[in-house]
């Protein structure tokens, strides 16, 4: 279930989230210091979607959903650990 395509998508999602929330290129407002609960819930929704697609036989959609879930979860985890600015 974890492939190179899923990892590439996860990195792209992580980069887009960082660009949108932390880079100050999009907005000069500071990001909330704690990770967003809604992004964590979104990661869970995408992970469950990947499981449902795999069980339903739609294997071509699984890497996209897994990558999106991993990217959202990685962004939340980096903020929770204090690694992200």
Rounded to the nearest integer, the mean pLDDT of the chain is: 87
pLDDT, position 70: 95
> Which is more confident, 50 or 25?
50
pLDDT: is 22 or 7 the higher one? Answer: 7
Q: Which positions ≥6 away from 39 have C-beta within 8 Å?
A: 17, 72, 75, 76
Summarize pLDDT for 44-73 with one digit per residue, the tens: 999 999 999 999 999 999 999 999 999 999
pTM equals 0.85
pLDDT at 18 over 90: no
Q: Which residues contact 59 (CB under 8 A, 6 or more apart)?
A: 53
Least confident of 2-11, 26-35, 36-45: 26-35
- Using the predicted structure, report yes or no on whether residue 33 has a pLDDT greater than 70: no
Residue with tokens 């071509």: 60
């Amino acid at each position: 279930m974890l492939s190179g395509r899923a990892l590439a998508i996860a990195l792209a999602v992580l980069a887009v989230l960082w660009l949108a929330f932390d880079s100050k290129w999009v907005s000069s407002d500071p990001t909330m210091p704690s990770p967003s609960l809604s992004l964590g819930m979104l990661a869970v929704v995408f992970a469950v979607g990947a499981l449902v697609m795999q069980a339903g036989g739609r294997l071509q959609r699984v890497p996209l959903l897994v990558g999106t879930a991993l990217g959202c979860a990685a962004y939340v985890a980096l903020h929770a650990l204090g690694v992200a600015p």
